Amino acid sequence: MIKLVDKNCHFLIDGYPRELDQGLKFEKEVCPCLCVINFDVSEEVMRKRLLKRAETSNRVDDNEETIVKRFRTFNELTKPVIEYYKKQNKVITIDASGTVDDIFEKLTHELQKFGIK
């Protein structure tokens, strides 16, 4: 993968890095991070969305117990990643409590500030 990365190409990796060490290794071995997208939403809204998804997704991990574990993992491991990149002014935080269209509009506006269209 590393050899295939075009240094002038942008790409999005969903859900990664989950831990700071992963982000640092990625930047060292693949390419520097241009920006990090943080969709900010309350745990209650996220819980409702995941349980709603469970009705149709057939995912066995969309249940209360696993959702609580996901929140714990996010708070313990992923928040430090966001804080690290915030210090570098690379974090785009989007209020994700609205509709998909609202969130998309906010995100595209913020990405333009990083030269991404």
What are residue 14's phi and psi, to 5 degrees? -80, 125
- What number of other Cβ atoms are within 10 A of residue 64's Cβ? 11
Q: Give 73-104 pLDDT, tens digit per residue.
A: 999 999 999 999 999 999 999 999 999 999 99
| Contact (CB, 8 A) for 92 and 37 | yes
Residue ranges and CATH numbers for the domains of the chain are: 27-112 (3.40.50.300)
* pTM passes above 0.85: no
Q: Per 3-state DSSP, what percentage of the chain is helix, strand, and coil (rounded to 5)?
A: 55, 10, 35
Q: How confident is the model at residue 6 (pLDDT cuts 50, 70, 90)?
A: low
Residue 107 tokens read as 């995100």
